[in-house]
Amino acid sequence: MMRKGKMLVVTCLIALILTAWTPGSGYAEEKTGFTLTENKGSASPGQNLEVTVNGNNLKDLFAYEAVITFDPDIVELDKAETKLKGFFIPPKVEKGKMTIAFTKIGKEKGESGNTALSTISFKGVAQGNANIKLVSVKALDPKLTSTVYNYKPTFDDLPGYEWAQMEIEALASSGIIKGASETTFSPGANVSRADFTSLLVRALKLDAEVDGNFNDVGPSDYYYKEVGIAKKLGIAQGKGNNQFEPKKSISRQDMMVVAARAMKIAGKALDESDSDLSRFSDASEVAAYAVNPLAQLIKKEIILGYNGKINPKDTAVRAQAAVIIYRLLNK
């Protein structure tokens, strides 16, 4: 075991390395990004809420420093750790702001691909949304060249949609979804059947040879390829007579059905025998074709319901679609 004095010196050196380099501008690698995933939607007094810091499409990550904010009236830090080989610097916490850092030592190769970088455990102080957010990540490669990824609030029209804010901003920062403009997301706007299908195909990186399509989807439509892939894979099955109704708003139950089919194609396991919706007061409103897919997603906690209801026939909105996509990617 390293002696305490020597460990302190190493820690100081690592901190100096991580704070001394001039930040790069914006997103040097478009496909590289960092996100947070939570194991629960909200905090409860005395119970743990676990957050994972993820690196996506990493390119030789040697060290990093991450800044995370949270509501100190709702949660308090319990512990933080990493399974990566190297030195993990314990979090520095001050007034709802936390800084964590990690570095490899010597000639170790950097991390590449998709990797869980660290796990942070909070203890609930009160009931509510802990509002845990990733503010920035300073990433260094083995040559100690740094790039800063800033995750400031992306859109200014999310008040009232705090339950989806983390998911929307994480997907937007990773380039998976786009806003309605540079500063707005339109979280309450309906989602069309074509747009949700396209989003699913792109997010899960599904592919197939498009050798045909629905009669009402033409080659000039921006969603032609993605809908064609979904049709080929059996994700999108249309509305009869080879019609897809691409511009029609998608219902919540249809969104869930399509999502369950896409998960299966993407190799994400679901319990296909599950059909129990009894805990929801509006379970009888779910169409027969949607019962199993909805039950499967509920068991995986991709769908949580609201006030004991699923609202299967309501039209899906952009905020709901973002939350489902985020959970699909992180289950």
What confidence tens digit (pLDDT) does each residue in 76-112 have?
A: 999 999 989 999 998 999 889 999 999 999 888 899 9
pLDDT (0 to 100) of residue 311: 93
Asked if residue 235 lies in contact with residue 298, where contact means CB atoms within 8 angstroms, the answer is no
Query: Looking at the domain that runs over 30-150, which CATH code has it been given?
Result: 2.60.40.680
Around Cβ 90, how many Cβ atoms within 10 Å? 12
What's residue 307's pLDDT?
Answer: 86
| Contact between residue 273 and residue 291 where contact means Cβ atoms under 8 Å apart | no
Q: What is the dihedral of CA 39, 316, 237, 296, to 10 degrees?
A: 30
What local confidence, expressed as pLDDT, does residue 230 receive? 96
Token pair for residue 202?
A: 């792109």
pLDDT (0 to 100) of residue 41: 67
Instruction: Measure the CA–CA gap between 245 and 316, rounded to whole angstroms.
Output: 15
Contacts of 122 (CB under 8 A, 6+ apart): 43, 48, 49, 50, 51, 70, 75, 76, 77, 78, 130, 132
pTM of the predicted model over 0.75: no
User: What are the structural domain ranges in the chain?
Assistant: 30-150, 162-330
Pairing of β 33-38 and β 48-61:
antiparallel
Q: Alpha helix (H) ranges present in 234-317?
A: 252-265, 291-299
Task: Give pLDDT < 50 ranges for the chain.
Answer: 1-30
| pLDDT in the model for residue 31 | 66
